[in-house]
A and B are shown apart, each in its own frame.
Chain A
Amino acid sequence: MTKEELIEKLKGIVKPYVKNEEGFNNLNEHTDFLNDLKINSANLVDVILDIENEFDIIIDNDSMEKMLNVKAAMEIINAKLAEK
């Protein structure tokens, strides 16, 4: 999967939880889920569960700690997919 494809998939996953459309329209590697997209922190759990389902991976506690932005999410997804 290319970086662009992964970002597109993530866009689809976070969309239902986004509270700031402007941040969503400008979504890129450096986008912060909470600060830029205004996703509430309880919904961050939904984002993580949706990522687990979409990619068929398990995000452990250590990885979850870092799941605050698009870049971290991409790194974690790629690492977990590589382990498969």
Chain B
Amino acid sequence: MTGNDIVDIKLAAAESNWKRKGFLDKIFTLHEQQYISDAALPHEMVWKLWTMKESAYKIYTRQFGGRFFAPQQFCCTILTETTGLVAYNNTSYQTITVIAKDYIYSIARPAGVKKNNLINSCFYLPELHNYKKQLFIYKKIIASYNSVTGKMKKKINIIKDKNGVPFINCGNNLQIPVSITHHGHFAAFTIH
């Protein structure tokens, strides 16, 4: 089981003023705020920590259900330049983060769980209306799942449970977890 989250760096700079009074306090622990003030590129650290928290939240809600907004309580520890840990409510998640020129992208999985047969893709998202954007991403997921498993494309469906958590279903009782993220011109997903 995985969760993933992406931030379009340019769009984040336009949409969010993280220097706004109170903003960091609502999202980050003091320890995390220290990472930000110590960072050579503080804005990258802000969004890196944010994607770590969001990707961990996505697994947590898949595992335990519910919906809530408690970013500060997902506590991040940075281990190396690319890896980290996120702890929430006695559960912990390991993360991998990629900082590219235009986006920051994190994948989380429950801590201690070995790498499984993860299907993962990160791609450019053209300017589209909300509905078409979703179709574009779903097509990518279906194509990718088809190429890995050989399942017929028209049999692959993407469904959401009542909390909006997405799964892949191929017409049987099996629900394959898929985590989907998009922001601005970038989108990504992880399957399994």
Among the 9-residue stretches B15-23, B103-111, B112-120, B150-158, the one with 4 or more Cβ atoms under 8 Å from chain A is B15-23
Most B CB contacts (10 A, CB to CB) among A43, A46, A66 go to A46
Give B residues with C-beta under 8 Å from A.
Answer: 12, 15-16, 20-23, 26-27, 50, 54, 67-73, 130, 164, 183
Shortest B3–chain A CB gap in Å is 13
Residues of chain A with a CB closer than 8 A to B68's CB: 65-66, 68
Residue-wise, chain A 11-31 has the 8 Å CB interface mask toward B (1 for contact) of 000000101100000000000
Residues of chain A with a CB closer than 8 A to B50's CB: 42
Interchain CB contact under 8 A, A41 and B16: no
Residue-wise, chain A 58-84 has the 8 Å CB interface mask toward B (1 for contact) of 000100111110000000000000000
**A38-B130, A40-B183, A42-B12 known; A64-B22 Cβ under 8 A:** no
In-complex Cβ contact of B26 among A38, A45, A66 (8 A): A45
Interchain CB contact under 8 A, A49 and B130: no
Residues of chain B with a CB closer than 8 A to A20's CB: 130
Considering the chains assembled together, what is the distance between the CA atoms of A45 and B26 in angstroms? 7
**A19-B130, A20-B130 known; A46-B70 Cβ under 8 A:** no
Residue of A nearest to B46 (CB): A42
Interchain CB contact under 8 A, A42 and B15: yes
Give A residues with C-beta under 8 Å from B.
Answer: 17, 19-20, 35, 38, 40-46, 48-49, 52, 61, 64-68
Residues of chain B with a CB closer than 8 A to A52's CB: 22
Interchain CB contact under 8 A, A49 and B69: no
Considering the chains assembled together, what is the distance between the CA atoms of A45 and B23 in angstroms? 7
Residues of chain A with a CB closer than 8 A to B71's CB: 41, 45
Shortest A82–chain B CB gap in Å is 22
Shortest B134–chain A CB gap in Å is 11
Considering the chains assembled together, what is the distance between the CA atoms of A67 and B21 in angstroms? 19
In-complex Cβ contact of A46 among B16, B67, B69, B73 (8 A): B16
Shortest A29–chain B CB gap in Å is 17
Interchain CB contact under 8 A, B67 and A49: no
Interchain CB contact under 8 A, A68 and B69: yes
Interchain CB contact under 8 A, A49 and B164: no
Interchain CB contact under 8 A, A44 and B69: yes
Residues of chain B with a CB closer than 8 A to A43's CB: 15-16
Residues of chain B with a CB closer than 8 A to A41's CB: 54, 69, 71
